[in-house]
Every structure is written in structure tokens, then in C-alpha cells.
Amino acid sequence: MPELQRLRPDHAPAVLAFEKANRAFFAASVPDRGDAFFADYAPRHEALLAEQAAGICHFHVLVESGEILGRFNLMDATAGTAELGFRLAEKATGKGLATTTVHQLFDVCRTRYALATLTARAAVRNAASRGVLSRTGFVETGEAVALNGEAGVAFVRALG
């Protein structure tokens, strides 16, 4: 059974392998991260850990047998609110893992991070992520957003 873990320094090689293996899959529904993301991953991972240590963001990975199956990130945590972002490996989709993990993350948000509200954004063309958000109680705000120049939809969910 996959386990949700807080991002650690030793996750770096597995996270990079996850991102590389799923790059084309992700690019089909979200803007591509670009070559620099992969070429400069070590300092990027260290920067994420520094943000996490400062309490600005909270990064999580879904791990099974040492392999990363997904990333579930809480960004810009302030005043009881954070933005949820997530991605799941192609081979892990269609099994309810994203929905289950987002539900699991709600408890972590309330008990560990004192968050009361989550926001999220999804590209209009990303039906899978919009579905996960809807199934986990997020509602569309009606606000149109741009994700790297691409049309997106904003969501919100109270954790109360």
C-alpha cells in the first residue's frame, strides 16, 4: 500500500526519476516544466526543503517500495490557507490513489499544519485533476486563472 511521506533529502533521486519517467504524460494535461527543471534538480530539491523547513510550503510524496507514485504539495501556507498541487504517475492513475491521498492529506493539513482552507488550480484541459478536486469536496470559485499562460480553473475547500 502506498504511503504518504513528508519530502526528505533522500527522496531527491526518486522524485527526479518520477518526473523524468512521467514527463510526457504530465505534459499532456499540464504545462511542461522545461529542460532546466531536470538539469538543475539537485539545487531545486534543496530549495524545496528549505521552504518546507521555513514553514512556507509542505511537500509530500506518495511512496511504494521506494518508488514515487505521486507528489502532493501544499504551497504558500499562511494564515490557515495553502494551495494544493498534485501529480500522479501514469501507471498509478485510475485506481483512486489521488482521491484517497487528497482525503488523507486533509487530516494532515488540520492536525499538523493548522490549515483551515485549501485552494487549488487546474488546467481546463486537465479533466483528471478537476475530477479529483470535485470528488474531494473542492468547489470551483468561478475565477479564471492562467497556468503558465494556459487557461485554468480555481477551486477552494474548507477543511472545517
Check residue 109 and give its pLDDT: 97
pLDDT tens-digit series, residues 76-119: 999 999 999 999 999 999 999 999 999 999 999 999 999 999 99
Kindly give, in sequence order, each residue whose CB lies less than 8 Å from that of residue 54, ignoring residues fewer than 6 positions away: none
Give the residue among 82, 90, 86 at the shortest CA–CA distance from 62.
86
Give residue for cell 490557507.
81
Average pLDDT over residues 50-65: 97
**Domain 3-158 architecture:** 3-Layer(aba) Sandwich (3.40)
pLDDT tens-digit series, residues 143-160: 989 988 889 999 999 998
From residue 119, how far is each of 44, 74, 145 by CA, in Å? 24, 9, 12
Rounded CA gap, 67 and 93, in Å? 15
β 150-158/117-123 pair status = antiparallel
Q: Which residues are 121's β-sheet partners? A: 154
Residue 51's identity, in one-letter code, is E
How many CB atoms are closer than 10 A to CB 151? 11
pLDDT of residue 31 exceeding 80, the answer is no
- Percent of the chain exceeding pLDDT 90 equals 88
Average pLDDT over residues 120-148: 94
Check residue 113 and give its pLDDT: 97
Cα 22 from chain centroid (whole Å): 14
Check residue 150 and give its pLDDT: 87
pLDDT of residue 69 exceeding 80, the answer is yes
Rounded CA gap, 145 and 122, in Å? 9
Check residue 40 and give its pLDDT: 86
What predicted TM-score, i.e. pTM, was given to this entire model? 0.94
pLDDT level of residue 36 (50, 70, 90 thresholds): confident
Please state the domain extents for the chain. Answer: 3-158
Kindly give, in sequence order, each residue whose CB lies less than 8 Å from that of residue 96, ignoring residues fewer than 6 positions away: none
